C-alpha cells in the first residue's frame, strides 16, 4: 500500500489543499481516505482534496510526502491519472464523483 500526498499549496474556498493519491488502485485510495475521515465529496477524478488542517493526519496514517510533480508522475506511471474531461477506463471503477467538492488542479 502506497499513498502519496503533496504539500498543501493549492488555494480554494479560503484554505490551502493537498492532493492524496494511490499508485495501486482507486479502491486503496478510497479505503485510506475513509479511514482518515475524508468525505466522499472530496474525491475528484483521481485524487482526494485534503485540507491543510488534515495534512498531518494523512502523513501519520502512512501517506508518503512528495512534491506535486512527483505525485503526478507516480499517478501517471501507475495508469491511474484521469485528467479533466477523460472518463475512467472501462473495468476500472473510480468511486464517487459527487458535485460540490473542493477544487483541485
In whole numbers, what is the pLDDT of the chain averaged over residues? 84
- The pLDDT tens digits of the residues spanning 2-52 come to 999 999 999 999 999 999 999 999 999 999 999 999 999 999 988 999 999
- Which residues, in sequence order, are bridge partners of residue 47? 44
- The one-character DSSP state at 30 is H
> Does residue 86 register a pLDDT over 80?
no
The per-residue pLDDT for 22 is 93
Task: Answer yes or no: are the C-beta atoms of 50 and 42 closer than 8 Å.
Answer: yes
Residue-level pLDDT at 82: 85
**What does pTM read for this prediction?**
0.77
Element (H, E) at 7: none
Structural domain boundaries in the chain: 3-77
Other C-beta atoms lying within 10 Å of the C-beta of residue 91: 5
Amino acid at each position: 500500500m502506497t499513498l502519496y500526498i503533496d504539500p498543501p499549496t493549492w488555494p480554494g474556498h479560503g484554505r490551502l489543499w493537498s492532493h492524496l493519491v494511490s499508485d495501486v488502485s482507486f479502491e486503496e485510495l478510497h479505503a485510506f481516505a475513509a479511514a482518515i475521515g475524508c468525505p466522499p465529496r472530496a474525491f475528484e477524478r483521481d485524487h482526494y482534496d485534503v485540507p491543510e488542517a488534515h495534512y498531518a493526519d494523512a502523513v501519520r496514517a502512512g501517506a508518503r510526502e512528495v512534491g506535486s510533480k512527483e505525485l503526478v508522475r507516480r499517478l501517471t506511471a501507475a495508469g491511474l491519472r484521469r485528467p479533466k474531461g477523460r472518463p475512467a477506463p472501462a473495468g476500472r471503477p473510480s468511486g464517487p464523483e459527487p458535485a460540490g467538492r473542493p477544487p483541485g488542479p
